[in-house]
Amino acid sequence: MKDTVGETAASMQELPVEILLRLAREKAHQPWLFQPVDGQILQYTWSEAAEQVGRMTAALRAQGWPPGSRIAISGFNTAHWFLADLAIQMAGYVPVGLYPKQAQKITTYVLEHCDAKAVFLGPMMDGPQFLEAIPDSVLKIRMPYPTAPRGDTDWDTFSTGFEPVRDYTAPDPDALYVLIYTSGTTGHPKGVMLSASNMRWLRAAFNNVAPQLCENERLFSYLPLAHFLERLAVESGSLLWGAEVHFLESMDKLAQQLPQVAPTRFIAVPLVWMRLQAGILQKVPQKRLDFLLSLPVVGRIVRRKLRRAIGLDNARFCLTGAAPIPVTTLEWFRDKLGILIQEGCAPTESGAYGAVNTAEHTRFGSVGKPMSDSGFRLSEEGEIQLKHPGVMLGYYRDPEHTQEVFTEDGWLKTGDKGRLDEDGYLYVIGRVKDIFKTQKGKYVAPAPIESAMARNISIDQLCLIGTQLTQPIMILTLTPHAQLQDRQSLERELLADMEAVNQSLEDHEKIAKLYIVSETWNIDSGVMTPTMKVKRDVIENRYGARVREHAHNRGQLIVWSE
């Protein structure tokens, strides 16, 4: 391989558009983007991508919008999501990502709040509803995909006839470069402002966390690109490393496409990791798997086949974040499959840069050691605070919340409560706002308890509540497979895990009972954010009254809500 270390060091000083233009010259005919459409894979080389971006840049500039105007991008992850993002940047405008399947009122709010001039319409399942949420003043540009809703114009028509722009002048370092709206577990989403200077620093910093380059780097893009981690680690990372990017055609094809791509680096939220584990154990029960893995030769073959079956045989870097992951899940992937999952933690407001476990230094249950250049500290109350060049400028058009989120001496208040162990590993106790007080007057942090209970692979989602209760109660949903199991054996299994979890808790933290609901918790039902985090306030409002009706029945440890 060439001097990739030197090349990467140089590219870290470049913004995404600058790298694209350089790679379009250096790797002109090498494929970059792999886009599935109706079972066929469309490929875009670096030079073809630059041509598309340059032509769209010219079309956008021809609209005469003021520099710095905001332009939104919607739909599932696609090659044209990348191309639109880069064209917006190249034109001197500010990209704004919209989450797939988010509520109409949220879409309208974001577009109006940022005063979007246009929106790129990508493939989506809720096209008619999405179109209703777009203000009339916003130009709608349809991407070339069968399930993208029809707009005022389409990608090819809009950009045809323009000569592609081939030159690029980077914006002022302090200028607004990208606007990231939070997925929002409560209230309106807030627009996180990142500057060109933020982006340069974050890209270099993120590269220090990831492993060294290998030949034929492949990335798999499926987490929402409206979330900053996917933008940084996959879109920007692919430019930084010159890596191929393969896109997921639809969520129901994840298990099929992941093995076909076999990425060299893979990022997943805890829910995805837990479903990968459950999928394996449905086919090979744990006792049989343990037996097979105990056999010297057979065990190596089985482990390799399982890694290949889920598509992670080539993965050298596996990362998780956004929510706590059970330690038992991390241990299972390491001990059974030989896959090290590195857990980290940092909010969008810090450019997703804070603390992370590394291949050399990992302690399960922690989110790793704070990065040496993260400016980490704990407040007197134990809140995690950060201060580094990647921290946001503030919230867009929201001085009040901006002032609230920074300390008087300029540190970002993350809203997470944490503690450090004797070796400097950081443990997140939970969101400060999520910690509740029971009727006993005792405070309970739900996240660690939920993470411990999530060891049970029959559980799909869960949420601990305790306000107005003498003792916390765990509300949970079951996996489709668990819903078909014998109820008595399932109850024994759940109660055994509840008892095991309770043994490690203080008396006021112990789970009093399990409340099993039949509803599905997902984005469509309004219970989860687009980044797959449970909305606690929604759970409390939806089930709180019913749960409290059963709270005083001490003899009933499991309640089924039919």
pLDDT band, residue 216 (cuts 50/70/90): confident
- pLDDT of 113 strictly over 90: yes
pLDDT in tens, 465-479: 888 788 889 999 998
pLDDT value of position 376: 94
Question: H-helix or E-strand containing 394?
Answer: strand 394-395
pLDDT value of position 271: 85
pLDDT value of position 331: 95
**What span, in angstroms and rounded, lies between the C-alpha atoms of 459 and 453?**
9
pLDDT value of position 184: 59
Q: What is the mean pLDDT of residues 217-221?
A: 95
pLDDT value of position 186: 57
Class of the domain covering 4-238: alpha beta
Surface-to-core class of residue 341, CB atoms within 10 Å of its CB (0-12 exposed, 13-18 middle, 19+ buried): buried
pLDDT band, residue 528 (cuts 50/70/90): confident
Q: What is the mean pLDDT of residues 76-82?
A: 97
Provide the residue ranges of all domains of the chain, joining segments of one domain with +. Answer: 4-238, 435-561
pLDDT value of position 4: 43
**What span, in angstroms and rounded, lies between the C-alpha atoms of 538 and 463?**
11
Could you give the percent of the chain with pLDDT greater than 70?
A: 96
pLDDT band, residue 8 (cuts 50/70/90): very low
pLDDT in tens, 312-371: 999 999 999 877 888 999 999 999 999 999 999 899 999 989 999 988 889 999 999 999
pLDDT in tens, 115-156: 999 999 999 998 999 999 999 999 999 999 999 999 999 999
Higher pLDDT, residue 553 or 161: 161
**Long-range contacts (CB closer than 8 Å, 24 or more residues apart) made by 487-493:** 487/560, 490/458, 491/558, 493/456, 493/458
Q: What is the mean pLDDT of residues 65-82?
A: 97
- pLDDT of 529 strictly over 60: yes
- 435-561 falls under which CATH superfamily? ANL, C-terminal domain (3.30.300.30)
- Identical fold for domains 4-238 and 435-561, yes or no, is no
**What span, in angstroms and rounded, lies between the C-alpha atoms of 9 and 461?**
42
pLDDT in tens, 422-452: 999 999 988 888 888 887 777 888 888 888 8
pLDDT value of position 534: 82
pLDDT value of position 1: 35
Q: Which residue has the tokens 């692979």?
A: 457
Question: Taking the model in full, what pTM does it have?
Answer: 0.85
pLDDT in tens, 453-468: 988 888 888 889 888 7
- What are 449's two structure tokens? 């308890």
Q: Which residue has the tokens 């009122």?
A: 105
Q: List b or e across 506-522, with b for residues whose CB sees 16 or more CB atoms inside 10 angstroms.
A: eebbbbbbbbbbeeebe
pLDDT band, residue 3 (cuts 50/70/90): very low
> DSSP of 68-126, one letter per residue?
T-EEEE-SS--HHHHHHHHHHHHTT-EEEE--TT--HHHHHHHHHHTT-SEEEE---S-
**What span, in angstroms and rounded, lies between the C-alpha atoms of 498 and 488?**
15
Average pLDDT of the chain to the nearest whole number: 89
- What are 451's two structure tokens? 């993470």
